[in-house]
Structure formats: C-alpha cells, structure tokens
Amino acid sequence: MKNILIAHNYSEDSFASMSFNLAHHLANLGNRVIFISHKPFFDEAQSIKKGKGEIVIYSWPSKKRPTSLQDAFWYSKIYFKYKPEIVIGHFVGANITIAISKLLSLGKARTFVYYHTLLQQIAEDHNTLSFRYKMSFYRKMIFYKTLCDIIVCPSDLAKNDLSNFYCFKKGMVLLNPIKDRYTSESNKNNSKIIISYLGRLDPSKGILELVKAFKKYNRQTECSNIILNIAGTGSQDAEIRKEIIGEPNILYFGGLSYDKIDDYLCKSHFIMIPSKADALNMVGVESMMNQTPILISKGVGLANYLEDGVECFKFDSDIEAMISLFGRVENNFNLQIQMGINARNTFLQKFNMENYCTTFSNLIA
C-alpha cells in the first residue's frame, strides 16, 4: 500500500472532479489516499474504506487559502503521520504540501504540481510591474526547479508557457477530464441563435472585446438572429454592465450556481470562448460534454485539440475577427447539430475520466 496525498477540492464539480475520481481510483487499487480539501470544508477527518484501500479526508485548519504558519505546522503533523511517498498539488494547496513533503522526506517524496494558469494569462489580469508580482514570479520559479519532480500541464500551450517563462523542462501534458453528466440533448429554441459566454469577467478572458464586437456586428448587420448570453463575475463586471445598457440582444445573468450550468450550456447553440490566453478552458470541455459546439479563440489551449468546422469555429481574439465570426455562425447555422455531435464524440475520446485516472495511476506506479 502506498500513501498518496492530493491537495485539491474534494468535489465532483467541474475539473475538481478529476482529483475526486483519481482519489477513488487509487484507493480501489489498494492505496491509502490522504486528501486535503480546500472546498468543501470538513470539520473532522473522514475515512472511506475502498476494499484494501482507503481515502482519508482533511481540510486546512485556517479554512482559507493555506498560506499561514498554522497551515504549515498542521501539515507537518499530517506528513509525519502518513509520510506520503507521492504528493499531488493543485493551486495554492500545492505550495505547503509539496515543499514540506520534499524537505521532511529528504527529497525522497515524488512531487507533482499542476500548472493550471498561464503566466501570460496572469500578466493580462495583474500589474506585471509591481514588486509583489515580480517576487511571486521568482518564488514560483524556485519552487518549480527545486521542489517539483513533474509539473502536469493541461495542454501543449501550458507546457510551452511553462518552458518559455520558467525555463522548466519537466512538464508533461495530461488533458483535464471532467465527470460525464450528459443525459440527453435539450430542446433548443431555434427561432434565435443563442451564443453564450460562461466564466470569469477579467481582462484575459476577452469578454469586454466580445461585447464590443457583438455591438458593432449588430450595428452593421440587418436582421441579425443572434442573442448573446453572458454569465459570470469578475473585475470587469461593472464595465460590462455599463456596455450592455440598451442592448436588447445581450442578456446578462451574473454568476450561476454550479447546478444551473449544464442547463445553461445545453440551451445554447454555441458557447463562446474569447480568451486572449487560457491554459485549457474547462467551460469548453463542459460544453462539449453537453453536446454544444464551441466558438474558440486560438489563444486557448483547448483549440489545439479541436478541428475548425468540425466541433468548433476558431477565431483570433480581436474585435474584427469576432465580427467575422458572428457572420460565419449565421451563414453556417445548418452545421450546428452535427458540430454538437462531433463535440460530444471528441469529449468522450480525449477528456474521458477513466482514461485520465488510468494514465495518472500508471505514471506514479
């Protein structure tokens, strides 16, 4: 029996489901999985028996982002109790778990950290000239080079970003899966073409440019049949609300609870992903899972695994390219149903949970 530690969210929501399902897969193989869950929060440790294996679930004592000395001391006790041979970290939970495990094991623990967010994307959303940003960059570079054995990248684009900016060559690509929640194709209202956006409202996501492009397209196109839906929250929320005042063909939904996402995706004819930079984009994967084709910027890692005109239409993330895209959608709307079927098939082939769990378990065997 191996002791394997995973720091992520113990949840089946979106791509957190890959860690949830990986934990159960590894336990079924006879391993003990120590899962430190940021969300949901567990007041007391939970134990789930899985044949000869086991999942033990904890939560960080601070209940917030695990960055304090309290979190570090607490994790040191967890380490000495279980002495995990394998540590898999996601987001900020990776910092303490990987650093302390590597140091206390005298370098013997094998450490895997996920590279979920492109540095290019962070630069779009933050002030890259600030002292805090620069210190964060150099801290992360030292962390990667001294404490991480393998950095798992969700796309080739992420692996290239890691190599170009952090000069780290030990990245490996493993596509993020999600749990298949698809039941059946919903009845869409075909009197209009529904193009929907779902995600953060931040500069790197290209949502402000999307709104401006759609407004311009409507001004220069007679009798357009497109309705643009926007759902999400973020730093550009107020600016986007202001931009869509007096625009009857743009509907703003704000943030959606996770239980409403599948319905939102299924009732759309296309999901729009206008990001300037994005490691993979799980909304796109969830859209494909729900048999809804996507309109995807070439700056998104997911675009490299799709074929233009088959599961998606690709475009450059600028206003003029998006204007042309809207015309392409209206002129080729007859392809929408088959594109949705193709998108669903691609999801099953490339983002399958079982294949992901098998690949990862073989990697750490």
Report pLDDT digits (tens) over 303-354.
999 999 999 999 999 999 999 999 999 999 999 999 999 999 999 999 999 9
State the amino acid at position 97 in one-letter form: T
Does residue 339 sit in the same domain as residue 356?
no
Q: pLDDT tens-digit profile of 273-311?
A: 999 999 999 999 999 999 999 999 999 999 999 999 999
Residue 186 pLDDT? 73
Does residue 213 sit in the same domain as residue 236?
yes
User: Would you say residue 256 lies in a domain?
Assistant: yes
User: Would you say residue 188 lies in a domain?
Assistant: no
In whole angstroms, give the CA distance from residue 233 to residue 254: 6
pLDDT of 249 > 80? The answer is: yes
Does residue 9 sit in the same domain as residue 155?
yes
Does residue 323 sit in the same domain as residue 199?
yes
For the chain, the average pLDDT equals: 95
Q: pLDDT tens-digit profile of 128-152?
A: 767 777 888 899 999 999 999 999 9
Mean local confidence (pLDDT), 182-198: 88
The pTM (predicted TM-score) of the whole model is 0.94
Does residue 89 sit in the same domain as residue 21?
yes
Confidence bin at 62 (pLDDT 50/70/90): confident
User: Would you say residue 187 lies in a domain?
Assistant: no
Which range is least confidently modeled, 4-13, 179-188, 331-340? 179-188
Residue 347 in tokens: 């999801």
Does residue 210 sit in the same domain as residue 244?
yes
Instruction: Label each residue of the chain as H, E or C.
Output: CCEEEEEECCCCCHHHHHHHHHHHHHHHCCCEEEEEECCCCCCCCEEEEECCEEEEEEECCCCCCCCCHHHHHHHHHHHHHHCCCEEEECCCHHHHHHHHHHHHCCCCCEEEEECCCCHHHHHHHCCCCCHHHHHHHHHHHHHHHHHCCEEEECCHHHHHHHHHHHCCCCEEECCCCCCCCCCCCCCCCCCCEEEEEECCCCHHHCHHHHHHHHHHHHHHCCCCCEEEEEECCCCCHHHHHHHCCCCCCEEEEECCCHHHHHHHHHCCCEEEECCCCECCCHHHHHHHHCCCCEEEECCEHHHHHCCECCCEEEECCCHHHHHHHHHHHHHCHHHHHHHHHHHHHHHHHHCCHHHHHHHHHHHCC
In whole angstroms, give the CA distance from residue 179 to residue 81: 32
Does residue 294 sit in the same domain as residue 163?
no
**Which residues are registered as beta bridge partners of 48?**
55
With beta carbons less than 8 A apart as the criterion, state whether 280 and 152 touch.
no
Q: How far is CA 333 from CA 192, 321, 329, in A?
A: 11, 18, 6
Across the beta sheet with 150-153, the strand order is 46-50, 53-59, 32-37, 3-8, 86-89, 110-114, 150-153, 171-173
Does residue 338 sit in the same domain as residue 359?
no
pLDDT of 232 > 70? The answer is: yes
Per the structure, the complete domain to which residue 324 belongs is given by 193-350
Question: Number of folded domains in the chain?
Answer: 2
Confidence bin at 222 (pLDDT 50/70/90): confident
Does residue 329 sit in the same domain as residue 211?
yes
Residues contacting 18, CB < 8 A, separation 6+: 176, 177, 178, 353, 356
Does residue 324 sit in the same domain as residue 359?
no
